Amino acid sequence: MPELQGIKLIEEKVATLPTGPGVYRMLDGDGTVLYVGKAKNLKARVRSYARSTGHNNRILRMIKATRDMEFIRTETETDALLLEANLIKKLRPRYNILLRDDKSFPYILLADDHAVPQLIKHRGARRRPGSYFGPFASAGAVNRSLNTLQRAFLLRSCSDSVYESRTRPCLLFQIKRCSAPCTGEISHADYGELVGQAHDFLKGDSRAVQKQLVEKMETASARLDFEGAAAARDRIRALTYVQQESNINLSDIGEADVIAIANQGGASCVQVFFFRAGQNLGNKAYFPRHDRDRSPAEILEAFIGQFYDDRPAPALILVSEKMTGAALLADALSLRAGSKVSLHCPQRGSKQALVNMAEQNAREALARHVAESDNQRRLLEDVAETFDLEAPPQRIEVFDNSHLQGTNQIGGMIVAGSEGFVKNQYRKFNIKNDDTVPGDDYAMMREVFTRRYGRLAREHKPGSETWPDLILVDGGRGQLNVAHDVLAELGLEDIALVGVAKGPDRDAGRERFFRHGANDFMLPTNSPVLYYLQRLRDEAHRFAIGGHRAKRQKDLRRNALDQISGIGNSRKRALLHHFGSARAVARAALADLEKVDGISAKMAKIIYDHFHGERH
């Protein structure tokens, strides 16, 4: 019996469907999800696909490719909308509108899981106890705000382990960006007052904080405490600077996101502005993937559902388009947030002015993106011609290794495609094989390739989004041969592989390119393809050496005292306070160790033996 597909398959599925809300998935012959949709009435919605007329070309292609359907019944239409957004982000179906950049936003965290709270940048799941402020549009926006807030409130930013081990104030205290609670330069009560002021300010109560500081400055001045008055004055200036940097101070915009879309030639840009506590925390542009026939309202509705799938929505979302599903979307966001969320398309006043500003930014960002995309498309066509590829590569993976005399060995992989660098696909590989000789670049390349492409062959099929069209390795014929041998062992010889060797004296522009079974060659020094490949190689080198340096710094930061059993934070702090450094502890005599508060004769002997090799 022939396998059912398309309309015939859908007609058979309709017969058994309920009339309640739910989510449906359309799958191709390989089980890949083509489309995820929601419905208030599953039976009626799926039946609409069984009609032979009334569909555009995109829907017709999707119906024709459908070999199976899966369904999930939900209690309400709101639940269906939430589940749909989650599945789209997870499965990334070909025929859905997709939010391509879902990197988490940075926040400022005022942590309260320590007796002396710290003020730091935070990204990721919000599991740590404390107050979160944001989101900020970029790490740069957070860093600028943090630097200024440190001058205004003098709160520590160091980690708990650094805090516990300090014996003297650090540089931040000297430049008046920390009050140094670690060494008792400020009492816990006074520090707690600073924490309260910072919390109030970040929540939007800036007037009360500034009033307190003005009173403090005037009181200090009246007592002729000019140093204290100057310190309060500097903090007031820092707070004023934060508010000026925020750029907008609208009394009727407390907490809101402003989301606008620009659409041209089948491409779209969604611009999101973040306002918290009456301050502008920056904006970010997104370029969702969708078919050309989708309307701006459709794209915006799908974007909002996915955008807030894993991040909290503010109380108010201002949008540039009237959406048919706005009420349902607001209910779903309210359910997820646990509080009322309103979606509003303003028609007049200051809120409309904000939406117009976001829309103008979206149009300008889209124009830049389209121009860059055209240049990128032409570059990839030239890359395909240079390396005899069947089509322009949509995913290029580039590898480089980094180490220092065989130590802290790291392999780095970066990814580039039609949209430029795909940074959420970058990977680092710690060299783990005990048989790998330190500093052996060939052995490192073999291990990295075996791990990367062994996993790819096991978990993904050719043609998937994670399958590369072109692999570049930093190195000459030797590295190329190692990489080729690994791919051959895994049955992946069809992937194009190129070695990029630096020119004499590492001169940029004199690189040689190597391919298996072909002569090596050079490109003209004015070739756009050469410049593009240099950028890819340099990015891979930057990423690999960054990983190596981070690993080396981590090793350097490890305190020798941490390796001694029985030495916790309090004993470590006592030793460092007494001797000044771990090196001085290592040189200390047994009798001197016994003089340290909290160090018993038995513990002193353990410490002394650890550094002098008397292990039993």
Quick one: 419 and 447 in the same domain?
A: yes
Look up residue 251 and give its DSSP letter: T
Does the residue 386 lie in any domain? no
Chain position carrying tokens 């702090």: 573
User: Taking Cα atoms as reference points, which of 58, 200, 165 lies closest to residue 557?
Assistant: 165
Contact of 398 with 537, CB cutoff 8 Å: yes
pLDDT of residue 407: 55
Q: What are 499-507's contacts with CB under 8 Å, separation 24+?
A: 499/472, 499/473, 499/474, 499/475, 500/472, 500/473, 500/474, 500/475, 500/533, 500/537, 501/475, 501/476, 501/477
C-alpha–C-alpha distance, residues 541 and 399, integer Å:
8
CATH code for position 542:
3.30.420.340
Answer yes or no: do 564 and 547 share one domain. no
**Closest listed residue to residue 93, CA positions, set 7, 32, 38:** 32
Is the residue at 454 inside a domain?
Answer: yes
Backbone angles phi, psi at 417, to 5 degrees: -160, -155
Residue 22 covered by a domain: yes
The range of the structural domain enclosing residue 331 comes to 256-368
The b-or-e profile of 567-592 (16+ CB within 10 A means b, else e) is beeebbbbbbebbeebeebeebeeee
Within-domain flag for 437: yes
Contact (CB, 8 A) for 532 and 372: no
Residue 472 phi, psi dihedral angles, 5° rounding: -115, 135
- Of the candidates 350, 330, 351, the one whose C-alpha atom is nearest the C-alpha of residue 342 is 330
Q: How many C-beta atoms lie closer than 10 Å to residue 392's C-beta? A: 19
Burial class (CB in 10 A: 0-12, 13-18, 19+), 117: buried
Would 209 be classed as within a structural domain? yes
Kindly state whether residues 51 and 123 are assigned to the same domain: no
Please check whether residues 430 and 541 belong to one and the same domain: yes
To the question of pTM greater than 0.95 for the whole model, the response is no
- Supply the pLDDT for residue 129: 87
Which residues share a beta bridge with 276? 279
- How many angstroms separate the Cα of 565 from the Cα of each of 162, 208, 555, 574, 604? 19, 50, 19, 16, 12
Q: Cα separation of 161 and 572, whole Å? A: 10
Are 120 and 200 contained in the same domain? yes
Q: Is 363 helix (H, G, I), strand (E, B) or coil?
A: helix
| Structural domains counted in the chain | 5
Q: What is the dihedral of CA 303, 305, 310, 315, to 10 degrees?
A: 110
- Looking at the fold, whether 50 and 129 belong to one and the same domain comes out as no
User: Number of C-alpha atoms within 13 angstroms, CB side, residue 437?
Assistant: 4
> What secondary structure letter does DSSP report for 527?
-
Is 361 in contact with 285 (CB distance < 8 Å)? Answer: yes
Same domain? 550 vs 566: no
- State which of 205, 222, 245 marks the end of a domain: 245
**Residue 11 backbone class (left: φ over 0; alpha: ψ -120 to 50; beta: rest):** alpha
* Structural tokens at position 141: 């926006």
DSSP 521: B
pLDDT at 321: 93
Within a domain: 217: yes
One domain for residues 25 and 151: no
User: 345-387, pLDDT tens digit by residue?
Assistant: 999 888 888 898 889 888 888 887 777 777 788 889 999 999 9
- CB within 8 Å of 58: residues ≥ 6 apart: 95, 291, 293
Q: Minimal CA–CA distance to 527: which of 415, 392, 385, 404?
A: 385
Asked if residue 338 and residue 434 are part of one domain, the reply reads no
Distance CA 195, CA 90 (A): 39
Q: What does pLDDT average to in each consecutive run of 10 residues of the chain (616 residues)? A: 74 86 90 91 90 84 90 89 88 86 76 87 83 76 77 84 86 86 88 83 64 69 70 64 46 79 86 80 85 89 89 90 92 90 89 88 82 79 91 91 65 86 86 67 87 85 78 90 91 90 66 89 86 88 78 59 79 79 81 87 87 56
Q: List the beta strands (DSSP E) in 405-440.
A: 407-417, 420-421, 427-430
pLDDT tens across 275-327, in order? Answer: 877 677 778 888 898 888 889 999 999 999 999 888 888 999 999 999 999 99
In a domain, 346, yes or no: yes
Note whether 230 and 364 are same-domain residues: no
If DSSP codes are grouped into helix, strand and coil, which group holds residue 420? strand
Same domain, yes or no, for 428 and 498? yes
Q: Is residue 501 part of a domain?
A: yes
| Dihedral of alpha carbons 296, 302, 307, 311, sign | positive
Distances (CA, A) of 275 to 247, 248, 279, 358, 589: 11, 9, 5, 12, 60
- CB count within 10 Å of CB 132 equals 15
CATH number at residue 350: 3.30.420.10
Helices (H), 115-205: 139-153, 160-165, 171-174, 188-202
Decide if 166 contacts 577 (C-beta within 8 A). no
What does the DSSP assignment read for 89-121? HHH--TTS-B----PPPEEEEEE-SSSS--EEE
Q: Is 302 strand, coil or helix? A: helix
Give me the CATH number covering residue 21: 3.40.1440.10
Helix intervals (H) in 427-469: 441-459
- Are residues 570 and 468 part of one domain? no
